[in-house]
Structure 1
Amino acid sequence: MATLSACASPPWPNPDSPNSNPNPNFLPDQSQTLDFDSLMPPQPESPPPNHHHSPDASPPESSPSPPPPSILYLSFNQDQACFAAAADNGFRIYNCDPFRELFRREFDGGGIGHVEMLFRCNILALVGGGPNPQYPPNKVMIWDDHQGRCIGELSFRAAVRGVRLRRDRIIVVVEQKIFVYNFADLKLVQQIETVPNPKGLCAVSQLSDSLVLACPGLHKGQIRVEHYAQKKTKFISAHDSRIACFALTLDGQLIATASTKGTLIRIFDTDHGTLLQEVRRGANAAEIYSLAFSSTAQWLAVSSDKGTVHVFSLKVNSSIPEQEKSQSSSNSDAAITPSSSSRSFIKLKGVLPKYFNSEWSVAQFHLQEGSHYTVAFGLQKNTVIILGMDGRYDLKKLLHAVIDSYSVYLRCCRFYCNT
């Protein structure tokens, strides 16, 4: 059972308050270049040379340099404007576009295995991790960066696998259970049983008037969707294999799912559990690392261990205002059209095997195979942001009428040194 520790004696910040939600008093970097040397603890100065030492004395041995920090976890905030990097010596927060470091916190070698932002406010959720965890891995620490300390904690009997934040909820994932809390008073709202969930899979909508939570069900390949406004639960049999990854739209009306096979991605209506669209990443099995909808639910991005990020055009509707959709479409969101080769396959639908009738991605970005990449859509129209566990940051743009594998490189850099 989760408990609120005595360290939460200060008044609990209300995430719905206008004073706690705007851009906080971050401590921004004064330059665009990251100072990796500051990650290292200060080295003791060498003593002055002794000119009277014995000729038999051996020269002093230089102390080995400490290893550079390693990234343990990467996550975007709720509107993909920022991202957080947890490392074995603390955490850092970055702005996505323009790319720059906002602030960092280091804990004298203590590791952070999970960091979750609440939009751009001063409240974060931290979980210890790495060889020397800063906090116990079975606790979620509520960090107030204005005060520079933890103001509360949630304790569990098992290691925490994931955390999700809304302005009004904290969701904590352990191996076979999910806990839902009110943010204002940390009261437990619901406990949900799941299949073994070592990845901490969970997704929650972010619109204030739509609270939808998705998590693994009690059976292989099943998704459970909680609609809190309607007070109903929907189970979706998404795949025959185990669920590997899923993502919700901002309003929670659509969910994209992938199985451990990693060849097909399916998009469902969360209200009725109806399969709306099926797209194909490839023919060979792959591990899906992340799925991301664009803000207008017109695009879906998929990253995998094949070193590729695929972008698919969606034909489903969300509750995004029609004016915003039409404006986005007029700015080239709908400018990508099927190629002539794709249209020729449509004529043979029902004749060729299902593989040839599959819907394929309209754009691909090729990266280093084997690296773990997390993907999201940028605030600029038709831009994709790719984060790598190797410290790589990519900002890429889709062309107006490109098909298959054409993209525009905008920016690539390393935001973290871990080599």
Structure 2
Amino acid sequence: MEQNPNKPKILCVKISSNQRFFILGKEDGFSVYSCTPKFSLLFCRKFQKTGISIIDILESSNIFALVGNSKDPNFTTNKVFLWDDLNQKSIMEIAFPTPISALKITTRFLFVLTKKKCFIVEIEKRSILKSFSINSPSDIKPSNSFDFSLVKRDSLHIAIPHKLRAKIFYTNITKPLVELTIKLNTPSYQLIKFNCKLTFLAVVSPSGKQLLLYDLLTGELYQKFRIANKVSKVYSMSFTQDDKIIALLFNNSIVRFCSIQLNETTNRLVKIENQMKNVYKKNLINIEDDTQGICEFNEWNDLLVIYLNGACYRFTFDEIEKKITDTVSFNYLNSKEVLESKFNFNIEKEDERKHKEGEETKTGITSDKLNENKNKKTNENIENELTDLVELLEEQKLEDNMEKEKGIF
């Protein structure tokens, strides 16, 4: 399905880190949708001066990381804004020397990728913790050239393009002695991804024909899959929570599932020479070739697939039977844009940052704790505001882990 020419163009799509939402960046703002228990539109935000070319959401909070797409000097592509949707204002702005090509946000860190550099920003301190020079493959989507994972609160792992071709640099930022240069068996790559338990790195070859799995202790190639018979593009890939299945989304409207051999005790890869076995292939209907999309397994190991043309799927994959047992579909281009607000994207001055008691909440994505906290704040400055949000989100995450219920956040 083609986009309606009368509707704003979709510029980007992102699935939240907890897989409960997906977000669309558009020419006039952004929209947030729920992924569970069913696909549904939560709300839209429209900005009068800029569209959103890159977006990420901080877990299930009201905080978004945004990159504009305007020629207006306030919203150029080299600036990141942290947007507090509860109070509908920008609470932090960071400018970089060159245009931003990808970003990710966690409770403590903001990861920003440009053409020649990657930056790790410590949010509370508003400072760059670390920066690296990179040589990102020029013919792939920038967000596919790196991966970034936060284990607990103090263990930040990244994999980025090395300065030298055919190599990937892996390190734990919070433990600088943990560094590894992975020498690839191919001249470049299309896509890289950590497994959930951070014991290996998955790499798609430049041709899209092979999937290579490298151990993160030694950098050695342990398993190899033939995932296509002809040159293909792989847009996205994701692991199940137990790391036993990896799903790959191709440009020809195909999803492939591969079974990974792991040591049951250590969860590390078992070394297998020339493994060329696919588990399962699913052809998606009504998806034109080269339609961009992303995929992610959620905590129940359902696979979410979101396309830029409006098509959305949630597949239940049976690991024992090696087949899809249930499919839910949705098209966000057909959903009514309700709960919509239109306003100027204001970058407020420090002396203007005052909260009004009893102010109506305009978003349905924040937790009760953040709502309660809003009424307690009066004249706090930006730094204290952001620190409070970080602490509350950490508490919320602990509670969520203790009592997970499907479809509730």
The equivalences for 1:44-59 within 5 A come to none
| Partner SS for 2:155 | coil
C-alpha contact 1:194 1:215 (8 A) present in aligned 2: yes
Query: What does residue 5 of structure 1 align with?
Result: none
Q: 1:390 aligns with which of 298, 309, 313?
A: 309
1:88 aligns with 2:19: no
Q: 1:66 to 1:302 in 2, by over 3 A?
A: closer
Deviation at 1:129, TM superposition (A): 2.6
- Does 2:287 correspond to 1:370? no
> Which of the numbers 163, 167, 178 marks the counterpart of 2:118?
178
State the partner residue of 2:377.
Answer: none
Equivalent residue for 1:274, pick from 211, 220, 229: 220
Aligned to 2:405: none
Offset at residue 134 of structure 1 (A): 8.0
Structure 2 residue matching 1:103: 3-state secondary structure: strand
Structure with more contact order per residue of length (Cα contacts < 8 Å, sep ≥ 6): 2
Report what 2:333 is aligned to.
416
Q: Distance in 2 between matches of 1:360 and 1:133?
A: 49
Helix, strand or coil: the match of 1:416?
A: helix
Deviation at 1:400, TM superposition (A): 5.6
Most deviating of 235-244 and 254-263: 235-244
Superimposed CA distance per residue, residues 262-297 of structure 1 (whole angstroms, 9 cap, x where no aligned partner)? 011111222321222212211101111111112221
Would you say the 8 A contact 1:296–1:320 is kept in 2?
A: no
Q: Deviation of residue 239 (structure 1)?
A: 3.9
- The amino acid that maps onto 1:384 is L
**Structure of higher CA gyration radius:** 1
For 2:76, the equivalent position in structure 1 comes to: 136
Q: Classify 1:316/1:274 alpha carbon distance in 2 versus 1 (closer, same or farther; 3 Å).
A: farther
Q: CA deviation at 1:130?
A: 7.2
- The aligned counterpart of 1:211 is 156
- Off by >4 Å, runs of 4+ in structure 1: 130-134, 317-322
The 1:388/1:411 distance shift into structure 2, 3 A limit, reads same
User: Shift of residue 238 of structure 1?
Assistant: 2.5
* Structure (1 or 2) with the greater strand fraction: 2
* 1:113/1:133 contact within 8 Å kept: no
The aligned amino acid for 2:165 is K
Q: Deviations over 1:393-419 (max 9, x none)?
A: 10112246444xx4234211101359x
Q: Deviation at 1:132?
A: 8.3
**Residues 1:163 and 2:81 are matched in the alignment:** no
Partner of 2:146: 202
In 2, the alpha carbon distance for the partners of 1:318 and 1:236 equals: 25
**Secondary structure of the equivalent of 1:407?**
strand
Counterpart CA distance in 1 for 2:9 and 2:88 is 23
1:256 to 191, 194, 202: 202
Change beyond 3 A, Cα 1:130–1:265: farther
Contact 2:166–2:186 at 8 Å: present in 1 too?
Answer: yes
Q: Which residue of 1 aligns with 2:187?
A: 241
CA contact (8 A) 1:205 1:251 kept: no
Secondary structure at 2:333 match in 1: coil
Distance 1:315 1:224 in 2: 24
Tell me how far apart the structure 2 counterparts of residues 318 and 156 of structure 1 sit (CA, whole Å): 44
Is 2:199–2:267's contact at 8 Å kept on the other side of the alignment?
Answer: no
- Give aligned pairs, total: 320
Q: For residues 71-82 of structure 1, what are the structure 2 equivalents within 5 Å?
A: 71-82=10-21
Normalising by structure 1, report the TM-score: 0.70
Shift of 1:230: 3.5
| Deviation by residue 1:144-179 (Cα, 9 ceiling, x = unmatched) | 112211111111121100001122211100001001
Structure 1 Cα separation of the partners of residues 263 and 86 of structure 2: 40
Q: Which residue number corresponds to residue 296 of structure 1?
A: 242
Question: Alpha-carbon deviation of 1:221?
Answer: 2.7
Q: Give the distance between the partners of 1:134 and 1:222, measured in 2 at CA.
A: 37
69 and 169 in structure 1: CA distance in 2 versus 1, 3 angstrom threshold: same
1:363 and 1:402 in contact (8 A); partners too? no
Which string of whole-angstrom CA distances, capped at 9 and with x for unpartnered residues, describes residues 169-211 of structure 1?
A: 1110000100111121121111111114553232111321532
